[in-house]
């Protein structure tokens, strides 16, 4: 652990609360609340480390219909030390939880690539769950030129 | 788009213990349930909600997909191969339809 920065569940809730407040100002509280519910359900009271999970997304996406995502955790992927799952969340999408990727030791490497839709510019969140019950979180902003939902 | 067509790419040959990359793609509208048709009526959700990959009957990787997954979903992942065998891939649609394909690999 040492000097690794930690995000407590409380801090996530505080940030989430701020998002809810912002959402109410612009009339979209439901989506942010849905994303908070997803994050809290995944964390299940655990404290997430902010290192170890790589969330690779473009900083600018011209087309919100197809935004590439690369996710990875450096893990030995042995029977006793592996990544169970990585969850991908787009808080400002109509359905914020984009996907949950589930790994096994036979995966060999905890890495996956896919393509997602983004309704608008937002901070994408990824959460990894490890076999030792640790959780890792990463966040990255994607600026979206043309939204990819509802069109 | 009635019939989903899967495509899978992986090496045909590998050495024991190699970690190989597997790339998959399937044609599917992934209708999100958010879109409206030209008459203004919401088009009902119809997506592939589950992707699963097994090797010789053992699970390797799976993904729960939601409506924010792009149309014609692409999914890549890795597998450590210790023996020759067959990968089985399955995509499960909201309506229960399961599209399957297989790929063999020879491990020397």
B24, pLDDT greater than 90: yes
Residue A148 contacts B, CB cutoff 8 Å:
yes
Return the pLDDT at A82. 98
Per-residue pLDDT of A113-149, as tens digits, reads 999 999 999 999 999 999 999 999 999 999 998 777 6
Q: Tell me the domain boundaries of chain B.
A: 6-32+46-107
CA dihedral A149, A150, A151, B2 (to 10 degrees): 90
Whole-number Å distance between alpha carbons of A44 and A52: 19
Question: What pLDDT, on a 0 to 100 scale, did the predictor assign at position A29?
Answer: 61
Outline where DSSP puts E strands in chain A.
Answer: 6-7, 48-49, 53-56, 60-63, 67-73, 83-89, 97-103, 110-116, 122-130, 135-146
Residues A95, B76: C-beta atoms closer than 8 Å: no
Residues of chain A in contact with residue B32, where contact means CB-CB under 8 angstroms, are 94-95, 117, 149-150
* Test mutation, B14, B70, B72, B91, chain A, max A CBs within 10 A: B70
Distance CA B60, CA B54 (A): 5
| Residue A20 confidence (pLDDT) | 45
ipTM value of the model? 0.95
CA distance B55 to B18: 14
Distance between CA atoms of A84 and A77, rounded to whole angstroms? Answer: 9
- Higher-pLDDT residue of A150 and A107 is A107
- Lowest-confidence segment of A130-134, B8-12, B35-39 by average pLDDT: B35-39
Closest in A93, A104, A150 to B60, CB measured: A104
Alpha helix stretches (DSSP H) within chain A: 9-26, 29-43
**Average pLDDT of chain B, as a whole number:** 95
- Give the domains, in start order, of chain A with CATH numbers: 6-146 (2.60.40.2470)
**Quick check: B2 pLDDT over 70?**
no
Chain B residues within 8 A of A38 when measuring between CB atoms: none
Interchain contact, A108 vs B32, CB within 8 Å: no
Rounded to whole angstroms, how far apart are CA atoms B95 and B85? Answer: 31
d(CA B75, CA B47): 15
Min Cα distance B96 → chain A (Å) is 19
- Residues B76-91: tens digit of each pLDDT: 999 999 999 999 999 9
Region B6-32+46-107: CATH code: 2.60.40.10
The encoded tokens of residue A59 equal 């900083």
Q: Does residue A13 sit in helix, strand or coil?
A: helix
Shortest alpha-carbon distance between residue B70 and chain A (Å):
5
- The reported pLDDT for the residue numbered B4 is 72
């Amino acid at each position: 652990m040492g000097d690794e920065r930690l995000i407590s569940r409380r801090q996530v809730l505080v940030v989430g609360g701020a998002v809810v407040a912002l959402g109410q100002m612009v009339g979209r509280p439901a989506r942010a609340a849905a994303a908070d519910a997803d994050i809290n359900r995944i964390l299940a009271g655990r404290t997430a480390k902010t290192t170890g999970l790589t969330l690779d997304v473009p900083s600018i996406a011209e087309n919100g219909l197809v935004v590439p995502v690369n996710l990875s955790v450096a893990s030995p992927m042995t029977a006793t030390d592996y990544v169970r799952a990585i969850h991908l969340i787009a808080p400002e999408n109509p359905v914020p939880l984009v996907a949950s990727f589930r790994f096994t030791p036979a995966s060999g490497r905890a890495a996956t690539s896919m393509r997602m839709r983004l309704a608008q510019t937002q901070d994408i969140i990824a959460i990894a769950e490890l076999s030792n019950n640790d959780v890792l979180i990463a966040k990255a902003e994607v600026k979206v030129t043309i939204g990819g939902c509802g069109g | 788009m009635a019939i989903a067509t899967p495509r899978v790419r992986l090496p045909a040959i590998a050495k024991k213990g190699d970690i190989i990359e597997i790339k998959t793609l399937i044609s599917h509208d992934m209708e999100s349930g958010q879109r409206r048709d030209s008459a203004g009526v919401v088009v009902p959700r119809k997506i592939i909600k589950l992707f699963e990959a097994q090797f010789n009957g053992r699970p390797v990787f799976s993904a729960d997909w939601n409506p924010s997954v792009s149309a014609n979903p692409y999914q890549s992942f890795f597998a450590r191969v210790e023996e020759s065998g067959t990968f089985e891939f399955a995509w499960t649609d909201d309506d229960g339809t399961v599209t399957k394909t297989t790929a063999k690999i020879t491990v020397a």
